[in-house]
Amino acid sequence: MQSAGQIDPGTKCTPATAPPSQELRQGKSDNIVLERPLEWRRWIDKQDWWNYNRGQILLFNSRDDHHPTYVPTQDLFPSSLPWPWEVVLIQEQHGDSVFYVMWFQNHEKRVMQEHFPPGHVFVSGKGILPITEAREHNSSKGQTVEILRPCDFEGKRTSVHPNGWKEGFLMSKAGQELERHKDEWASMSADDKAEVLRRVSYVFPAADKQSDVGSETVTGYHWLDIPRPDRVRWHPRQPENELPIGWEAWIYLPTGEVFYYDRVSKKDSKTHPTKSFHVEGLPLGFGLKWAKIDGKWRTYFVDHERKTNTWSAPPGYVVDERVGFKKVPVVGKDAAE
């Protein structure tokens, strides 16, 4: 029933300090640069705000660009967001395509976020508007304009060609995540999909056994608003770990990661909102992921505090297929010490 240390019973692999991929061999955690939120730009002056309100958008050539430039985009964003919001674009290359991903600066809170300002949508020919204003614009003009919520950008190709930059497509972060997850799930074989579902049942015994797939017409403001076959709903095994009202959690099947989602604020987290754990039953700061390595699925553990990865569960913790992870009493010499 129990497996101490390694989570893959019967494996012939010896415990290692990290799985054999380049990033993990270097002892880094899975929070690589590409997954880090872009930091707030840390400067704002009258000239910046003047540029923004004259139809110029701050454009970053990557998430690590410390010297972004303003480019005219009046045809794309003729209406500026009111203070404290500013929309910026980040250029990203995916395969042969260039995307300009929208992020939003809140200058009062000094944060950069991937989510649209609350209640806002993208309107073709107008830019980012409150949903009420977008609907009023439709009815008052007597003609239909395209209104896109963040999730509607999945599969959508709206051309944009900033002056002096490569031609590409406008994209929301939610649309980008949905496309990436769809491609990752589609690339997995039927055997691989069955294997990750088996691992969910073993590690998260209280989770749903199948995906909660809804209507294809469902849309939303966050990628977790859209039911998809690549994730199952997480449930706690202990009553004290129930989620607050308005929260839900999902296990992303290709990696085993748990995402905790606040449907009110439309924000996600990799830690439980009240208990702060990544994975129920493991000590704070520890998460897990699985991956197919050299043709075999392996589970490894992520120590977010030390930023390291290991095959072995934290000392003193085992996985029981009936209840998931649990701590076992230390006996013998270690207990006396």
Per-residue pLDDT of the chain (337 residues; tens, 9 = 90+): 555 555 664 444 333 334 444 444 444 444 433 333 445 454 455 556 556 666 788 899 998 888 888 888 767 888 778 888 989 999 999 889 999 999 998 888 888 899 999 899 999 888 999 999 888 876 666 667 789 999 999 999 999 999 889 999 999 999 999 999 999 999 999 999 999 999 999 999 999 988 876 555 567 899 999 889 999 999 999 999 999 999 999 999 999 999 999 999 999 999 999 999 999 999 999 999 999 999 999 999 999 999 999 999 999 999 887 888 989 876 655 443 3
Picking from 125, 144, 175, the residue at the C-terminal end of a domain is: 175
Residue with tokens 């809804």: 214
210-222: string of b/e by CB count within 10 Å (b at 16+)? ebeeeeeeeebbb
Q: What is the total count of domains within the chain?
A: 2
- Decide if 24 is inside a domain: no
Picking from 117, 146, 175, the residue at the C-terminal end of a domain is: 175
User: Are both 68 and 140 inside the same structural domain?
Assistant: yes
- Decide if 47 is inside a domain: yes
- Decide if 313 is inside a domain: yes
User: Are both 137 and 196 inside the same structural domain?
Assistant: no
User: Are both 161 and 208 inside the same structural domain?
Assistant: no
What pLDDT does 225 receive?
A: 92
Coil, strand or helix at 266: coil
Q: What is the CA radius of gyration of the chain?
A: 23
User: Are both 273 and 151 inside the same structural domain?
Assistant: no
Q: Which three-class secondary structure string do you get for 278-297?
A: CCCCCCCCEEEEEEEECCEE
User: Are both 219 and 291 inside the same structural domain?
Assistant: yes
- Decide if 1 is inside a domain: no
User: Are both 215 and 162 inside the same structural domain?
Assistant: no
- Decide if 131 is inside a domain: yes
User: Are both 125 and 220 inside the same structural domain?
Assistant: no
User: Are both 171 and 202 inside the same structural domain?
Assistant: no
CA distance 260 to 277: 11
200, two tokens: 């969910």
User: Are both 212 and 252 inside the same structural domain?
Assistant: yes
User: Are both 221 and 322 inside the same structural domain?
Assistant: yes
What pLDDT does 65 receive?
A: 87
By residue range, what is the domain housing residue 320?
Answer: 189-327
Coil, strand or helix at 141: helix
User: Are both 257 and 153 inside the same structural domain?
Assistant: no
- Decide if 286 is inside a domain: yes
CA distance 181 to 200: 17
User: Are both 89 and 213 inside the same structural domain?
Assistant: no
Instruction: Name all contacts of 156-161 with Cβ < 8 Å and 24+ positions apart.
Output: 158/124, 160/73, 160/76, 160/100
Picking from 175, 203, 237, the residue at the C-terminal end of a domain is: 175
Closest to 153 in 3D by CA, of 105, 99, 113: 99
What pLDDT does 329 receive?
A: 78
pTM: 0.81
Closest to 282 in 3D by CA, of 293, 270, 291, 292: 270
- Decide if 111 is inside a domain: yes
- Decide if 21 is inside a domain: no
27, two tokens: 């002892």
